[in-house]
C-alpha cells in the first residue's frame, strides 16, 4: 500500500517514521521541506512530492496532520490539492 502524508511536524514526523518502520512506502508533502523533521523522514525512506496533488496521485490513502481547518482546506481542496490528484470514483 502506498501511503501519502501531508504535514511533517511535531505529530506527523513520528507517525510517518512509524509507517516507514512498518514497511509502508510513504510519499510526503511539506510546505517547508528544508526543516530537520522533513529531512529525517526523507533519510528514513520517504519520498518528497512537490504538492498535495502529487501525494494523492502517488498514494492509495492520504493522511493529513496539519494544525488548523484553514490548512486542511488548502491541502484538500485548494489549488494542487488532494482532490485534484485523487482518482475519480468508479461509475
**What's the pLDDT tens digit per position in 50-72?**
999 999 999 999 999 999 999 99
- Please report whether residue 91 resides in a domain: no
- Return the pLDDT at 60: 95
- Return the pLDDT at 2: 96
Q: How many domains does the chain have?
A: 1
Range(s) of the domain holding residue 45: 2-6+21-83
- Return the pLDDT at 6: 98
- Give every residue of the chain whose pLDDT is below 70, as ranges: none
- Please report whether residue 15 resides in a domain: no
- Return the pLDDT at 87: 85
Please enumerate in sequence order all residues whose Cβ is within 8 A of that of 85, keeping only pairs 6 or more positions apart, or say none.
51, 52, 53, 54, 55, 56, 57
- Please report whether residue 13 resides in a domain: no
- Please report whether residue 89 resides in a domain: no
- Return the pLDDT at 88: 81
- Return the pLDDT at 90: 74
Q: For position 50, which CATH number holds?
A: 3.40.50.720
Amino acid at each position: 500500500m502506498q501511503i501519502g502524508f501531508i504535514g511533517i511536524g511535531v505529530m506527523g514526523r513520528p507517525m510517518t517514521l512509524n509507517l516507514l518502520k512498518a514497511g509502508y512506502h510513504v510519499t510526503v508533502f511539506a510546505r517547508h521541506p528544508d526543516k530537520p523533521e522533513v529531512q529525517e523522514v526523507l533519510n528514513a525512506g520517504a519520498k518528497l512530492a512537490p504538492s498535495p496533488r502529487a501525494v494523492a496521485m502517488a498514494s492509495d490513502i492520504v493522511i493529513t496532520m496539519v494544525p488548523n481547518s484553514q490548512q486542511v482546506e488548502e491541502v484538500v481542496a485548494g489549488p494542487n490539492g488532494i482532490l485534484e490528484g485523487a482518482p475519480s470514483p468508479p461509475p
